[in-house]
Chains A and B, each alone.
Chain A
Amino acid sequence: MTAVRTPTLAAAKLVFQRDMTLAWRRWDEVAQPLMFYVVVTTMFPLATTPDLSALREIGGGVVWVAALLASLLALEALFRADVEDGTTEQWVLSGQPLGYLLLAKVAAHWVLTGLPLVIMSPIVGTGLGLPTSVWGVLMASLLLGTGTLSILGGIGAALTVGVRRGSVLLSLLVLPLAMPLLIFGSRAVSMQMDGDSPAGPLQLLAAIFFMALSLGPIAMSAAIRISVEN
């Protein structure tokens, strides 16, 4: 029997659509990281000062830290259900390049958690005194940063999928790796605010994103195979 293999792109699209449908049916879980994001940024004025001009100094950094933490929240369960019910095993056996399927899953995760954070960031930023002139840079930096973070987090989630209490461990693994994103991202925002061109840090963020995009799937599929094979 000669099996006709589904084209890889079509298979990846199916994975993406399946995750979107699942998320649509449990939208409250999707909303949680976003709520977390808003709550965390609310804590900073309360903990430091309500003075907007003082908050403006740290605003970009606060938005970035909160976005990093919020997008880590939902990552822990990214592959768990699929590994437990055997879906991932079928992917490994399907003959499709595993990295692409996992990347499709990460892309769905990013659309559901990363993108809402990016869209929400001007509102949150305004609350921290960021002027409208930095909205574009803030969103662009978060767009690239959350994309990279989803891939890095995907690697972390794939590694910790079989581990008890994996969520703390996942943060410990991923956050140190995400420090460059934090540095470049918040730096781009403050450079724009000071009237400098933020092109440098944004380009570095883009470079890191493309590196993660090209190397990340390899690491993710290696990690998933380790979790599935035993």
Chain B
Amino acid sequence: MSWTWFHKLASPPHAYRILGSMAPWFGWASLALILLATWWGLVKAPADYQQGDGFRILYVHAPSAWMSMFTYVVMAVAAGVGLVWRIKLAHAAAAACAPIGASFTFLALATGSIWGKPMWGTWWVWDARLTSELLLLFLYLGYMALRASFDDPQRADRASAVLALVGVINVPIIHYSVNWWSTLHQPASVTKFDKPSIDLAMLIPLFLMIAGFQLYFGWAVSRRLRGEILRRERNANWLKEAT
């Protein structure tokens, strides 16, 4: 089996072209799915017997929380690939992921807080998942701060890649330590989010929304990665020929 197609992916001009042609597909598909899931979740899904219509913010909260962790793993994998095989494009992909992941994390925190106000009566509860999300946001911000503090892009790439890898080893430790900390401190009232069985009618729009968020991530990464390539290759000849 020939691996040329794979190696070609690491070439900036080729990747630039492929990403350009893929981005609209991701974009329109994600828009369609998110609109469908929004209608399904807000209109068609039944109201929760306990939380009423308030639970519907779940359709934004849960997918963003899921995407915030997914993006961190993608970022760490890209950083690791860039560090081991010295592929500049992988570093560029990691750089493109960070702000998207931080935005998802922020969205998860904000929606969690808004959800918390009617359900818990306060804007913020030191709930395990909210706390892990907060720490994840700190990890993203640290990564972005480290990347921004180097003048030399190659050093920024490799230093932040080491940080991303250290971070991804730590994420499970942080997650479980916060869980353990929270179960010792929290009353059990919080577990109403942990309902073992969620009705299928509520679940379908959630899955649709997650799929829509994944596609949105594909669109956003494609766009950002193209931007990164433009910035990094601004003196390259292929770019002058292309424009």
Contact = CB atoms under 8 A, between A and B. Distances in A.
Contacts of A183: 177-178, 180-181
Interface string A144-187: 00000000100100011011111001001101110110011001
B171 to A, nearest CB: 10
Given A159-B163, A163-B150, A180-B177, A172 B155 contact: no
A61 to B, nearest CB: 11
Categorize the interface residue count of chain B: 20 to 34
Majority secondary structure, A binding face: helix
Interface centre among B135, B165, B177, B184 (most CB of A within 10 A): B177
Interface string A103-141: 000000000000000000000000000000000000000
Interface stretch (B61-69, B136-144, B188-196): B136-144
Categorize the interface residue count of chain A: 20 to 34
A160 B149 contact: yes
B162 A187 contact: no
B152 interface: yes
A141 to B, nearest CB: 14
A69 interface: no
B35 interface: no
Given A179-B174, A219-B162, 16 more contacts: A160-B149, A165-B149, A172-B138, A172-B141, A173-B142, A173-B146, A176-B139, A176-B142, A180-B170, A180-B178, A183-B178, A223-B159, A226-B155, A226-B162, A230-B152, A230-B154
Interface of B: 83, 135, 138-139, 141-142, 145-146, 149-150, 152, 154-155, 158-159, 162-163, 165-167, 169-170, 173-174, 177-178, 180-181, 184
